[in-house]
Each structure stands twice: as structure tokens, then as C-alpha cells.
Structure 1
């Protein structure tokens, strides 16, 4: 019944199915695109452009270095910890061509978060920006990482500009704390050593892991979602099938402000745009709006991928509103709920509607999206080709169209499972391939889906998942904390903001400043709470479980009265 329901829900000209085995692996797609679009621009950053031909040559050189000058073997994990700079696509495609499994790592991670991810994944190599090498110095000795490659922001730029940019970052802006990693090699030296060396192109099978993408799943500590070559290839083909009717191969210019280490931009900008030979404008720091606008101003961009908070900031920016939007024909929103007012304001500014989609790290990530030709604001669109969705109740029973329950997804983009966590995998993924999303929603008669709430206590800050369990673990490390809880509260700028509640032990004095300082030292910036409230007690069940929902309800009542 589920299968038949979706067959006639696709726009005219869009097939309900794709062939996920059309390409055996990511390398095959890369090679085809780099040959077809060899002279076309692939990535631009800080005024420097790499063509597809140059991308293939440089990634091959990097792969040759990894094969000839390290002990890394096919299947070994390599952590990449960089913002949006040209070194990222060179490193990721080079690592994949060498047969390695990529572990995308947030450059904003603290030492504690890095240590967990490197040890959990069993990473044996690390490519990181010099700006966080001082943290790598602390972490690497506690992990299995043996190969360390350090790059600076301007490394891919022409000589004079490279020296200038790297000097300004290091000496003027003082963004590179001192570090001591005697075993490390520079990214440019690695490329030099790889030139002229023989590359044995890896030939992984579709079911082999390409990327370990870390996420909290629906609850708990960060877990590595095993995304296979088939998962990534399928999602590329699915996105092209549903979104690509309006896109011309080898002609599109895509603004890429979201970090490529995040699964949303990774698949859309680094993978799907590569499939169609698009030109990606990499924005290193999207928080610096003037710099971002300066970076994209010279180009007639046609694709823009972002999320609600970014759309709000740009729509209210005078410099952005003055740009030329005459070529913009596709704007895609994901990562967090798109607000109606935001969508309307964006279209007013750019004359381009926003297509909202939905996905998870566990679905590589795109599961549903609004077709460009038939956008329904307030919905997350229809399932991608070869994707099925259903809604279930708490007992796992399938619900009818229009009934509210937990959304489940099935398709070739659904992950293989969580890395070395069979129990966690079994909780979210059943034997038939259905993935529980943890989101509550419904399916409309026309096939479009709506999300109405989240089942779990996850907090969504500017598109990033924040898990209360982790925050509470870190809070509990503070001497004198007796009980604590973390919740999300509505916030105009970030969708949700984090508020924590703390109960201190009798006789102990604890200040908000102490709590904030501790959190800033132990979690990434977007996980730092916006508000701290001290209480004598927290609401609990009769077995002692803290009731976060009661805390949220209290906050909502306060906001309603305000």
C-alpha cells in the first residue's frame, strides 16, 4: 500500500525511481564529472578557483601521498577537520580515492569532543587547520592517530597571496595558537611528496563505508553513521532527479555557505553539485556577512543552499539585498524548520522561492524535498525518488494518511548502521530497512509531509543537533552540581536556544559565570547555553528521572505571559 501511494505523487517528468547502482562508488562519479567538466570551475574560495581537471589532479596527488608515504591501508579512517577552504575537497576526494574512510570533524570541537570522535572511529590520520592544531597536540597522544597533516587557510592560493593571507591570520588576527606537533607534515609538503608517485585507485564496493558522519542519532552520545558509497551515490542521483529538471549541467553556480563537514552541505554541495558539474563558491566564515557578500558578489549565482537563520540574516543585510539575483533560480532550505515569514521575505528580496527539504545524517541526508515546480510552504515536500515514508504510532503500527505519528523513511540513502553500535542501530533501523526519524508528523493526501513536533528532547540550534544528555554530562563535571537539566527554548535567531537548570549541593556557592566558563571550555560554541537558572529542585518522576518536558512547558508559559 505504501509503495503504491507514492507512485503518482511526483511532478511530470520526474521518475519515481533511480538506479542506486548506476555507479559502483563515489570515485566513479568524481572521475566522470572531472573528465566531462575538466575545464569548468569546481570550487572557488578567497578568489582562487580550482577547475574539475585540477581537482582530479590534486586529489590524485594527495591520494598518492597517503598511499606512498604513510602506513594507511584501505578501510582505515582519516579525520578531516577544516572549514570551507579549497583543501577540503582536495583532501576528501583524495582520501576516498586512496580507499580511506572519511571522518568529518567539526573545526569548532573542543579537545574533549575531538578525543571522543577520534577514539570512537579509530582514526589513524588527521588533516586539520593550523588554527586548531594546538588542540590536536593535546588530543593526538590519547588516540590512535599517527599521521597528522596541517594546513593553513591560504595554502591553495598563489604564492604572494598565500604568504599574505597566512601571515595575517597568524600574526595580525592571532587566530593560530602556538602548537608543537613534530610528527606533522604540512599539506603543501604532502602534495609535493605525492607528485609523480604511483596511485593505485581504490575500487570499493557499493556497500563499503565511504564516510563516518558523527551524530547523536535521536538521543545520546555522538555515534558514527556508516554512510556507504551506495548511500552517497543514491542521494546524489535522487537530488538530481527531483531538483535537477531546472538545472543545467556544467553551468550552475552554487553558493556554499554551510560547512562541508556537516552532512547537509557535504552531500548537496560537495557531492550532488559535483555530479552536475556545478561551480561551488565556498564561504569560509558565513558569520562574517560582509566578507561573504564580497566573496559571492562577482558571480551570477544560480543556486543557494542555506537554513532559516542564514536566510533571516541575509535578507536583513543591506549589502546582500543590493546583489544581482537575476540568475538565482533554486534556493534550498534544510537543517532546521523554515519559518513562513523567512520564506516570504527571501522571495521578496531575491525573487526566488525556497524549497524546504528534510533529512538526517542517517539518510545521507536528504529524504524529502519540495519539488522546485510545486513548492508547498509549511511542508517538507515529498520523498525523493526510490524513497518511501510512513507514519507509525508508539506501538509501531502504520497510520493512515493525515494521522499524526513518528515519520519513518526507507530508501537506498539510509545508512548501513551506527559504527560499532548494534544496539543503537537496532533501536532506529528495523530488519526491513525502515528508519525511525524521531520526528512527529503526518502525510497529506497529495503526498507532501508535515513535521509537527520532535519526539525526543533534541535541541536544534541553527541547524545543529544538540543533545541534552551530553550537556548534562558536562554540567555534572562541575564540583558542587547536584542535579542539572538542559532544554531548548524558542529563539528568533537560532530557532532554539539552550537553557540549563542547575541544583547545587547544600553549602555550595556557584555562579552563572562559572557555569558558562566551564561549558565554553568543554563544548562547541553552538552548544553553550544562552541562559542558566539555579533551582532548589527539579521536577522528577517517581523513579527519579528529570522531567525536561515540564521545564519546557514552564518556560513556554513564562514566554506567553511576557
Structure 2
């Protein structure tokens, strides 16, 4: 086992990780889905066939392919297959509206898209606006698409394509919400993804909750169009352990799987933890095998944490990171989680191995401890760039490799990081990032709207909720339901306003910029931080 762990730690690519496990532990389950196991040997062979199939369709090194569908082990097989020829997986958020899906397909230039069950119609709606998309392959034999993935894959040999890859090669492209209303494709390399898994001590070694443990079983419940979902799947592949794949988060299914598969690790957003705690069956489930629940995307209220610690009886780890950092860069360890609460529990923890964090002012100068500024980070975990967007890349990553996160916070004397606010006008609702500009564009396209500003307000269940402050055109009348229904035609449901304030005029500064903080202030009064 020790030799295998060392081999994996020295692997430069995720494809090499899969190949090594297929050699050393071929019969070990890599993924389980609806009681069907995919072993590492099957994953390696299947991804070789997928690679051969992609080459037959003209996909080359550096090309992007797309996936539109819920979580499925075959998504990871296709990701690895694409990687074996140097192509890059771009999973598309299945909750998006057709125009948003089309934008991502067109922006990444995908020639081939794989579609999960139930999403063929969405793909057909988006396809006319993605002219380079020439092949659509259905993941399951549903009759919705002309080509069935398993039949297509099995028509090719299981020969490794033999393409030489390195740590610097692109692996994954995830789209993040954009300040201008258009999402950006964050490009992650094999090296940036694998750098979180270094257990050799080169970067200080792993923390105990990060260590791969033979026999661990992880519940993959978060969506693979986020780094939390794909990162979890890649993490279990690196560890050589089994991931039980849930198509989407459902508390009833999650509780059943925890019980039936002796789940030992889960990543959840706080809203998902709350939903599970409120489930009527939660008191009947045996959680004794559960070792760690990792959580992130938004802070967790102390009372919710107390209830979770009491019910689940496992270690909790808060994670802070972003798509642009290939996931977690800062973590609050289990020993810092105390039922009675502590000042450290207001933090998101300390930087992981190899991660540098500093707090900077508007001019980029480092500020003193306990002084609020923008959080900047530098490590091998940082993305390589935004896809075909050098200006956005340059404004985010400086020549010395420091990435500006857009979050405002401070470091205390012990190196713990505290999130105070957001520099960018981003809303996080139920773990989903939403930029006001995206919502404003949708609201403003309503013919009766004269002006609009979108803000995030506290929400007990989802952390934050989207609120639109709308100025109606003179002589016109429009209702809240009408505007929300209009938005649903253009953007994903989770981005649409949950409430609307109709106001006479938006507050602006002398240069015309909307004063969002003035709009937000009444809703955040009494809160110790301006994020929830």
C-alpha cells in the first residue's frame, strides 16, 4: 500500500492516477451508481475507449468537450477519456436556461457534447446558437438522442491513445458567474487539481482529515458542474476509494446511501446540512461510520452547527476556496469546531499546505493583522487563466501569481482567515454564485422596467436570497410575479429574484454608479458581517 501511495503522489496527471490504480487495485470500486459498481480497471478501459471515440470525431489536444446532465459515473469516465488525448471537459450547469447553456457551448467551442437523461430537449434548444457543436451523444439509452454513449464507446478499442501529458496540461474548464453578466471559463490543469493531494511532505503534508484511508466511502452529492462535485470525484480517484454518486442532492436518498453504504465522508453546503437535519428519518439513521462532513460556499450558523455535531457525531471541516483556486485553499479543522462556540469558529480556518494568503488594500499593498482588505492567494492550486479572456485573467492574477479573490476579510495574529464582506457584488444562495449583473440584464429586458439594481439579502434557509430593486417606466404598471416569470425565460431559476422592491429611483454616486451598499444596509443591520 505504501508504494502505491507514493506512486500516486508522484503522478503528474489524473490520467496517470487512474492507470496506476487500474494496475495496482483493478477490482476496487471507483464509483457506485444505483448499485452498479465501476472498478478502476473498468474506468481505465472505458476511458481509453472514450478517448479513441473522441479522436474518431476529430477531437484533438486542447479542444473542449461539454457535458450537460446530472451527476453520473460516466461523466468521470468521459472526463478521463478526454484528458487522455489532451482534451478538456466542460460540464454545463443543468439548471441554466437555454440561452445560458448556448453561451457556454459556444464560448468553449465544444464540437462534442454528452447529454444526461432528460436534457436532450434543452440541448436542442441551445444547439442553434452553438454552431461548432457537431455531435451530441446521449449518456443513457433513452431514445432522446440519436447516439447512445455506451454503444458508441464500446465500438472502439480499449487501447491507451499514448498521448504524453504533463502537470501543466489543461484538464477541466468550469464556468463562473460574471460581473458583466457573462460567465467566464476558469481553466484548471492536472497540476492545479492534484496539488491538493500532495501527501509526500513537499508542501507540508496533508491534514489528518485529508489523508487517503483504505476502505473510505464518500458520498458525492454536490453537482459536478461545480468544483465541489468534480473535485470530490477526482479526490476519491486519487485516494483509490469508492464514491457513491447521487444524481442530485436529495436528503431521503442521501440518508439511505449513508446507511446502506457505510458512508465515511461527505461534502455539503450548509443549506443541504439543514435540509438533512430537518428530514423526518434523520433520527433513525446510524451515522457511526461517518468520519467527516466537510462544508463550504457560505458560513454556517452556530445553532445549526451545534445541532449537526450532536446528530451526526462526526468531525466537521469548513472549507474556503473558489473555482479559480481549483477548490479548497483554507480550512477550519475539526478541533476548531466546538459546540459551545469560539472566536475561531467565526473564521474559515488556516491556509492548506502550499497556500499563501495575504490581505491587500486597493493599491495592492499588504495590510496589518486584523485589518480588512481584499483576500489574495498564491499557490499551485490557482487556475491557469480564464478561457480566451486575457483581460479578465490579468485583472485577477498579477505577474507574481497572486490571485485576487473578490472577498474582503482579515487575518488574525494566529493566521486564521475571516470573511467580512465581498469586494465584488456577488450573492451566494444555497451554494450557488450569482452576480447581480446577470439578473439585472434579465430584469431590465422587461419592456416596463426603467431601471434595476439587484442585491443579496439574508435568508434563513439559503444563506442569501436575490432581491431586485426596480424602477418602473412612467405610466406603466407591472407586478412582482410578472417580472419573475419574465426572468425565468432568460436565466436559471435559482438566479431569479425571490422578491422585488418597487422604488422611485436608485441611489447613485456623482459618477452614476449604483450605491448597492445603501440598498443592502437595511437588510443587513445588526449583522456582524455582510455575508450570510
What is the TM-score when the length of structure 1 is the normalising length?
Answer: 0.86
The answer on whether the counterparts of 1:355 and 1:372 sit within 8 Å (CA) in structure 2 is yes
* Aligned equivalents of 2:94, 2:422: Cα separation in 1: 28
Match of 1:213 in 2: 174
Which of 16, 31, 53 is matched with 1:43 structurally? Answer: 31
RCO comparison, higher one (Cα < 8 Å, 6+): 1
Deviation at 1:231, TM superposition (A): 0.8
After TM superposition, list the pairs within 5 Å mapping 1:340-489 onto structure 2: 340-372=302-334, 375=337, 376-489=344-457
* Aligned equivalents of 1:348, 1:371: Cα separation in 2: 17
Match of 1:263 in 2: 227
* Aligned equivalents of 2:206, 2:179: Cα separation in 1: 27
The answer on whether the counterparts of 1:216 and 1:465 sit within 8 Å (CA) in structure 2 is yes
- Gap change, CA 1:28 and 1:315, over 3 Å in 2: same
Which of 180, 188, 209 is matched with 1:227 structurally? Answer: 188
Match of 1:81 in 2: 68
Match of 1:34 in 2: 22
Match of 1:282 in 2: 245
Q: Mean Cα displacement is larger for which, 488-497 or 224-233?
A: 224-233
- Gap change, CA 1:84 and 1:316, over 3 Å in 2: same
After TM superposition, list the pairs within 5 Å mapping 1:182-201 onto structure 2: 184-194=146-156, 196=157, 198-201=159-162
* Aligned equivalents of 1:240, 1:198: Cα separation in 2: 38
Q: Secondary structure at the match of 1:24?
A: coil
The answer on whether the counterparts of 1:242 and 1:371 sit within 8 Å (CA) in structure 2 is no
The answer on whether the counterparts of 1:258 and 1:306 sit within 8 Å (CA) in structure 2 is yes
Q: Mean Cα displacement is larger for which, 246-255 or 406-415?
A: 246-255
- Gap change, CA 1:525 and 1:308, over 3 Å in 2: same
The answer on whether the counterparts of 1:256 and 1:283 sit within 8 Å (CA) in structure 2 is yes
The answer on whether the counterparts of 1:20 and 1:237 sit within 8 Å (CA) in structure 2 is no
Match of 2:497 in 1: 529
* Aligned equivalents of 1:321, 1:518: Cα separation in 2: 42
Q: Secondary structure at the match of 1:346?
A: helix
The answer on whether the counterparts of 1:461 and 1:494 sit within 8 Å (CA) in structure 2 is yes
After TM superposition, list the pairs within 5 Å mapping 1:48-127 onto structure 2: 48-68=36-56, 70-127=57-114
- Gap change, CA 1:344 and 1:212, over 3 Å in 2: same
The answer on whether the counterparts of 1:487 and 1:548 sit within 8 Å (CA) in structure 2 is yes
1:289-325 Cα distance to aligned partner (Å, 9 max, x none)? 2233223321111111111101111122231332111
Q: Mean Cα displacement is larger for which, 312-321 or 234-243?
A: 234-243
Match of 1:13 in 2: none
* Aligned equivalents of 1:203, 1:456: Cα separation in 2: 40
- Gap change, CA 1:448 and 1:554, over 3 Å in 2: closer
Deviation at 1:41, TM superposition (A): 1.7
Deviation at 1:517, TM superposition (A): 1.1
1:55-98 Cα distance to aligned partner (Å, 9 max, x none)? 22222222222123x12112110011121122222221122123
* Aligned equivalents of 1:40, 1:277: Cα separation in 2: 8
Deviation at 1:353, TM superposition (A): 2.9
* Aligned equivalents of 2:370, 2:193: Cα separation in 1: 31
1:248-306 Cα distance to aligned partner (Å, 9 max, x none)? 53310111111122112211x111221111211111131x3223322332111111111
Segments of structure 1 that go 5 or more residues without pairing to the other structure are: 1-17, 156-165, 171-178
The answer on whether the counterparts of 2:409 and 2:417 sit within 8 Å (CA) in structure 1 is yes
1:195-226 Cα distance to aligned partner (Å, 9 max, x none)? x3644133223222111111136665210111
Match of 1:273 in 2: 236
* Aligned equivalents of 1:534, 1:19: Cα separation in 2: 61
> Pairwise CA RMSD of aligned residues?
2.5
The answer on whether the counterparts of 1:20 and 1:234 sit within 8 Å (CA) in structure 2 is no
* Aligned equivalents of 1:277, 1:467: Cα separation in 2: 37
- Gap change, CA 1:464 and 1:222, over 3 Å in 2: same
Deviation at 1:408, TM superposition (A): 0.8
The answer on whether the counterparts of 1:66 and 1:95 sit within 8 Å (CA) in structure 2 is yes
Q: Secondary structure at the match of 1:264?
A: helix
Q: Secondary structure at the match of 2:433?
A: strand
Deviation at 1:473, TM superposition (A): 0.8
* Aligned equivalents of 1:243, 1:58: Cα separation in 2: 33
Deviation at 1:494, TM superposition (A): 0.4
- Gap change, CA 1:385 and 1:248, over 3 Å in 2: closer
Which of 186, 197, 200 is matched with 1:236 structurally? Answer: 197
* Aligned equivalents of 1:48, 1:298: Cα separation in 2: 14
Q: Secondary structure at the match of 2:409?
A: strand
Deviation at 1:369, TM superposition (A): 1.1
Segments of structure 2 that go 5 or more residues without pairing to the other structure are: 1-5, 338-343
* Aligned equivalents of 1:117, 1:279: Cα separation in 2: 31
The answer on whether the counterparts of 1:40 and 1:52 sit within 8 Å (CA) in structure 2 is yes
Deviation at 1:111, TM superposition (A): 0.9
- Gap change, CA 1:245 and 1:439, over 3 Å in 2: closer
What is the TM-score when the length of structure 2 is the normalising length?
Answer: 0.91
Q: Mean Cα displacement is larger for which, 19-28 or 97-106?
A: 19-28
The answer on whether the counterparts of 1:73 and 1:99 sit within 8 Å (CA) in structure 2 is yes
